[in-house]
Structure formats: structure tokens, C-alpha cells
Homo-oligomer: A and B are copies of this chain.
């Protein structure tokens, strides 16, 4: 199975309101709730692609119970979340049905104790022993050391499990130095890591920092990959319009499924781009439009990049 790690899981709540005006009172016209946090989104897409997938990370409190209740409705995703004393965070997306804008409110997440972090590392090591690949996804909750991902990358590498890291800021900077197989920063995360706004330069720099392969997601421009087997740019056949929420997580699912299926890099990238575009096109945030995915898959352009250096 594939393992995804979401240390800062969330109950993602979406409110639809007529028009969001600061200082006013609003009636929520429609509400949806779903288990969230990047690794959980990745897991749902992997399951939809037919992979066996297990999720781990921290879960706690009343919100954590709500998250697990909802996760149980997707039996293809195995719940190996580790209970903690704090409460899982909520994220609130306020979708303004007048302007189409979304305003996001993110709770910080529960305080994790050193004992809980130690418990997690034990559970993680046990899970790694039966998995074919692992994705480490998203932000760290309070209390988890900033070098957490570096530690988790090292454990995976010691057990020869391929590891993909998708995070940002200092946890990415520390994690990349532990030599993960793949990192998947977006343009902002890449610029923050390397100081360069030129994706070509920045992806090269990110590889030098320790990642075996760097796949940068460049929004509508698709992906730029620098790997031991070569460098590629992969782009959808046409620009897609819609809700980009979860598009990056779908790209991670594409890369990871391609990795365990031992696909050549260009095929992994085509899958990641097609899944990502099909996620933007789906009416529900974070889900993908399967017919669109199948149609796009053969039409993604993957072009080899001449290495300048």
C-alpha cells in the first residue's frame, strides 16, 4: 500500500454565503464538511486510481471524531491516524456566491506533546514496513519539531521506502536536506526555499539542496521536473478554469502512483498534470473529474528540457 502522512489533519468546512462583507452578519446558505489536510486529499485521489492507501498523522478532540466519522465513509482509505489529546483543527472556506471568491480561515491545529510525537514516529515506522511509497504532506502542528520531516524522510530512506515531501518554509528546507526522493513545491514555495523566482534556476538549486527529483507545480503552466533521468516540462493541452483547491494534492497522487507503478518520468508527469487539471475542472473542490482526466491524459504535452548548466 501507499502511505500518506498528514501531521496537521483538518476538518475542511465550506460555507456558501450570498456576499462576504467584513463587519456584517451572514447566514450560511449551504455547508459541506470533509476530512482534509493535504495527505488525506492525496489519499482519496490514490484510492480513486485503484491504489491501496493508508493515512496517518494526528487526530484528536471532537473535530477529530467528526473527521474520522467522515473518513470511514471512504472505506478504500485505511485510517491509521494516531490519537492525541488536543483537538484537530478546522479550516473554513467562505465561498462568496456573488463574486465567486473564497476566503480562508485556518485554525492552527492542536499542540502535540513530545510523547505524542514519539508515539507517532513508532507507528510510522511500523506502517513503513508494509508500504511501497510514502508522501509527507502539509504544515506541522504546534509542538512538532521543525525538523520533523527531515526525521521522517531519514526513517523512510533507512527502510528503502521511496518518499515524496510536499511542504513549505523551514520544514521543507530541513526536510530536503535529508534527501527525499521527490519534492513537489509550488512556485511560491520554491522561491521561498531558493530565493529565486526563475523556476528553471530554482528547481536546479532545490535539487542541489538534496532532493533526488524536484517537481515544481507552476499553476496553469503545469509542472517542471528535474530528475536523475532527465528534465521535463509537462503542460495541459489547454488552460483550464475552475477551483484550484486540491490541484497540487492531485499532482502528488499522480506522481506517487506513477512511482509505485514504475512508470517512466514522462508518464508520471502526464498523469500528474491530467489529474491536476481534472481537479480544477471538478465542481466539488478537491475531487477530480474522471472523464476529463481520461480525456486529458493522452493530450498532456511533455517536453524534454535541455539542461543549460
Shortest distance in angstroms between A171's beta carbon and chain B's nearest beta carbon?
A: 16
A49 at the interface (CB under 8 A from B): no
A264 located at the interface, meaning its Cβ lies under 8 Å from any Cβ of chain B in the complex? no
Is the pair A26, B106 in contact by a Cβ cutoff of 8 Å?
Answer: yes
CB proximity of A305 to chain B, nearest CB, Å: 32
How many residues on the A side are at the interface (Cβ–Cβ under 8 A)?
Answer: 30
Q: Which of B23, B28, B62 contacts A107 (CB 8 A)?
A: B28
Chain B hits for A125, CB < 8 A: none
Give per-residue flags for A153-190: 1 if the beta carbon is below 8 A from chain B beta carbons, else 0.
00000000000000000000000000000000000000
- Residue contact B28 to A106, C-beta cutoff 8 Å: yes
Interface string of A78-102 (1 = CB under 8 A from B): 0000000000000010101001011
Separation of A104 and B104 alpha carbons in the complex (Å): 14
A274 shortest CB reach to chain B, Å: 27
Identify 9 new A-B residue pairs, CB closer than 8 A, beyond the known A26-B103, A26-B106: A15-B105, A22-B99, A23-B101, A25-B106, A27-B106, A28-B107, A62-B62, A62-B65, A62-B69
Question: Which A positions have Cβ atoms within 8 angstroms of B?
Answer: 15, 17, 20-29, 31, 62-63, 65-66, 69, 92, 94, 96, 99, 101-108
